[in-house]
């Protein structure tokens, strides 16, 4: 009888422990952030904005380079007097400094815009992932690239892209 009571008690404790463990199991998912950035409407909008800005600045840089080339070619013209050549070389030097300053400022502005847009995107993405994870009972979402292995069933990238597109339709 005593063995029966011990067995019953042990079985009951095992069942309670198993139930408690099942309730506290951590549900984990993985997401490919770069894929979300490249395939979501918001990510594509940011990429288009950055490309447009880059193309505009590149056109301005190319125009300044053309001006420098024209001055350089003019300074090599044998028909121009030495005094005029010196004046052109002086203009060339001034324009070269102007060009370098402009190129540096454009690069700095591009990096600043890129950084700001990426931070904004990361904030939006974090909000979408948090909301999705809470709705699905997921305790932790990890960047897929930092995992050594993850089963395909843990990948929520496609769902996150769909949620991003709903939340930020990329007007």
Q: What are the pLDDT tens digits along the chain (171 aa)?
A: 555 544 444 444 454 444 444 556 789 999 999 999 999 999 999 999 999 999 999 999 999 999 999 988 888 888 888 888 889 889 999 999 999 999 999 999 999 999 999 999 999 999 999 999 999 999 999 999 999 999 999 999 999 999 999 999 866
Per-residue confidence (pLDDT) for residue 19, from 0 to 100: 47
| Cα-Cα-Cα-Cα dihedral sign, residues 100, 53, 119, 146 | negative
Per-residue confidence (pLDDT) for residue 3, from 0 to 100: 52
Per-residue confidence (pLDDT) for residue 2, from 0 to 100: 52
In order, the DSSP letters of the chain are -HHHHHHHHHHHHHHHHHHHHHHHPPPEEEE-HHHHHHHSHHHHHHHHHHHHHHHHHHHHHHHHHHHHHHHHHHHT-TTS-HHHHHHHHHHHHHHHHHHHHHHHHHHHHHHHHHHHHHHHHHHHHHHHHHHHHHHHT-SEEEEGGG-S---GGGB-HHHHHHHHHHH----
Per-residue confidence (pLDDT) for residue 13, from 0 to 100: 41
CB 143, CB 33: distance < 8 Å: yes
Q: Where are the domains of the chain?
A: 25-167
Per-residue confidence (pLDDT) for residue 159, from 0 to 100: 97
Strands 140-143 and 28-31: parallel
Listed in sequence order, the residues at least 6 apart from 134 whose beta carbon sits closer than 8 Å to its beta carbon are none
- End-to-end alpha carbon distance in the chain: 75
CA distance 91 to 98: 10
| Cα-Cα-Cα-Cα dihedral sign, residues 131, 132, 135, 139 | negative
Per-residue confidence (pLDDT) for residue 11, from 0 to 100: 45
Per-residue confidence (pLDDT) for residue 12, from 0 to 100: 40
For domain 25-167, say whether CATH 3.30.910.20 is its number: yes
């Amino acid at each position: 009888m005593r063995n029966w009571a011990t067995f019953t008690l042990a079985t009951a404790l095992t069942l309670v422990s198993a139930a408690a463990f099942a309730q506290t199991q951590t549900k984990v998912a993985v997401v490919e952030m770069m894929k979300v950035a490249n395939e979501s409407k918001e990510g594509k909008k940011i990429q288009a904005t950055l490309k447009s800005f880059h193309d505009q600045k590149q056109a301005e840089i190319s125009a300044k380079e053309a001006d420098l080339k024209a001055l350089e070619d003019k300074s090599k013209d044998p028909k121009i007097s030495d005094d005029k050549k010196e004046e052109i070389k002086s203009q060339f030097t001034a324009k070269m400094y102007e060009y370098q300053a402009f190129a540096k400022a454009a690069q700095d502005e591009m990096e600043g815009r890129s950084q700001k847009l990426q931070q904004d995107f990361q904030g939006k993405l974090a909000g979408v992932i948090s909301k999705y994870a809470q709705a699905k009972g997921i305790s932790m979402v990890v960047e897929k690239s930092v995992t050594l292995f993850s089963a395909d069933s843990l990948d929520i990238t496609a769902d996150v892209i769909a949620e991003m597109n709903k939340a930020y339709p990329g007007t």
